[in-house]
């Protein structure tokens, strides 16, 4: 993979959400097309599934429910596809990846396409002398070189900056806005029986968080989302000097942990919401390692997120799984 300088695109105010998405798609068309062509989960799992007749009920329900709840963001998604000159179906599938994969029959799953154990880590603290939210961005190898920053301005005057995966809604990783609100995200692995088919997609929820006005507003957006799968949200309120970790699951289940002066590390398993989940040795290893590392200063937090002591399951993944 050639070296890729992370680019920022300033967009807006736009007349419509579709126009904003179109301009983003056109600006990053090369990266979006490249990501779609290289994404083996899309090519080998999602697209074959979507082309089969039995996929239609779930796919149509996902699209209908998310378009109804978030019509502006849906128009933004369609605009991105049109601006990048790629099939809308491809963009829909990568945005609903987490909501679809649990329902693809096991026989269609490729063992060489890992979807878990390559996700992000965070360490958070709010004390008298410092307040820090440090995030380590890990994801699937298809995203290497296929990310960018969006600085979006809305007609209301709201402005956000988001780290964005090519072709996906801003932001399925982290972002912040001029209301003093920010967030980072950690994937979590609810077991299949905990997942509700055709619920609201995680990408739509995090896109909505980019427009949050306060911690209360952001929490309300998450609580009311009727999500299909679970997620872990690290909400950051600069004005109130607060950080909260929210773990969520389907059927509007939410657990809130207010971060204080005891450093809080989160990998990719539920820590405080009682949900049946897939056991992940990678996350367990990262949690165990983080527990014994120093966490007294900002430099300690950066060193923690860069730790490679465990050769099998390092906190910092320096191979091709690392962005």
- The per-residue pLDDT for range 218-257, each reduced to its tens digit, is 999 999 999 999 999 999 999 999 999 999 999 999 999 9
d(CA 286, CA 268): 9
Distance set, CA 7 to CA 27, 31, 92, 161, 218 (Å)? 10, 11, 23, 12, 27
pLDDT band at 61; cut points 50, 70, 90: very high
Q: Do 154 and 223 reside in the same domain of the chain? A: yes
The pair of three-digit structure tokens given for residue 192, joined into one six-digit string: 């299949």
Number of domains within the chain:
2
pLDDT for the residue numbered 241: 97
d(CA 209, CA 237): 12
Q: Do 98 and 77 reside in the same domain of the chain? A: yes
Q: Do 74 and 128 reside in the same domain of the chain? A: no
Q: Do 54 and 202 reside in the same domain of the chain? A: no
pLDDT for the residue numbered 138: 85
Q: Do 190 and 156 reside in the same domain of the chain? A: yes
The residue whose two tokens read 């695109």 is 9
Q: Do 172 and 290 reside in the same domain of the chain? A: yes
What's the mean per-residue pLDDT of the chain?
93
Last residue of a domain, one of 50, 73, 108: 108
**Least confident window among 95-104, 114-123, 191-200, 218-227:** 114-123
Segments in the chain forming alpha helices (H): 17-27, 29-38, 40-41, 47-50, 56-69, 71-84, 88-95, 97-100, 202-209, 215-223, 281-292, 298-305
Report whether pLDDT(319) > 70. Answer: no
Q: Do 155 and 100 reside in the same domain of the chain? A: no
Predicted model pTM: 0.94
Report whether pLDDT(207) > 70. Answer: yes
Distance set, CA 316 to CA 3, 28, 120, 267, 313 (Å)? 19, 28, 9, 11, 9
Mean pLDDT over 67-93 rounds to 98
Residue 171 maps to a domain: yes
Phi, psi values for residue 155, rounded to 5°? -60, -25
Query: How long is the chain?
Result: 323
DSSP symbols for 259-282: --SS-EEE-SS-SSS---B---HH
The SS3 call for residue 206 is helix
Mean pLDDT over 189-207 rounds to 97
pLDDT band at 259; cut points 50, 70, 90: very high
Q: Do 128 and 82 reside in the same domain of the chain? A: no
Residue 280 maps to a domain: yes
Report whether pLDDT(21) > 60. Answer: yes
pLDDT for the residue numbered 107: 57
pLDDT band at 4; cut points 50, 70, 90: low
Q: Domain range holding 94?
A: 8-108
d(CA 323, CA 319): 9
d(CA 131, CA 128): 8
């Amino acid at each position: 993979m050639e070296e890729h300088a992370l680019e920022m695109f300033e967009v807006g105010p736009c007349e419509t959400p579709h126009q904003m998405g179109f301009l983003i798609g056109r600006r990053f068309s090369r990266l979006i097309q490249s990501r779609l062509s290289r994404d083996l989960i899309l090519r080998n799992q999602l697209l074959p599934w979507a082309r089969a007749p039995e996929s239609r009920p779930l796919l149509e329900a996902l699209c209908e429910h998310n378009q109804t709840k978030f019509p502006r963001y849906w128009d933004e998604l369609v605009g991105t596809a049109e601006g990048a000159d790629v099939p809308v179906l491809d963009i829909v599938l990568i945005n609903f990846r987490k909501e679809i994969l649990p329902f693809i029959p096991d026989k269609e799953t490729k063992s060489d396409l890992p979807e878990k154990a390559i996700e992000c880590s965070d360490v958070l603290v709010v004390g008298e002398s410092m307040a820090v939210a440090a995030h380590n961005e890990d994801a699937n190898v298809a995203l290497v070189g296929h990310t960018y920053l969006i600085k979006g301005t809305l007609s209301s005057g709201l402005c956000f900056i988001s780290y964005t995966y090519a072709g996906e809604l801003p932001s399925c990783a982290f972002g912040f806005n001029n209301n003093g609100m920010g967030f980072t995200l950690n994937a979590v692995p609810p077991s299949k029986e905990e997942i509700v088919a055709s619920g609201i997609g995680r990408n739509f929820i995090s896109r909505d968080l980019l427009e949050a006005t306060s911690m209360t507003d952001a929490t309300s957006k998450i609580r009311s989302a009727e999500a299909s799968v679970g997620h872990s949200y690290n909400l950051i309120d600069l004005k109130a000097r607060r950080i909260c970790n929210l773990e969520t699951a389907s059927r509007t289940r939410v657990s809130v942990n207010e971060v204080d002066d005891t450093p809080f590390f989160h990998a990719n398993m539920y820590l405080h919401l009682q949900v049946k989940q897939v056991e992940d040795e990678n996350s367990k290893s990262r949690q165990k390692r983080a527990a014994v590392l120093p966490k007294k200063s900002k430099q300690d937090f950066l060193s923690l997120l860069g730790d490679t002591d465990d050769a099998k399951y390092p906190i910092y993944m320096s191979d091709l799984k690392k962005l």
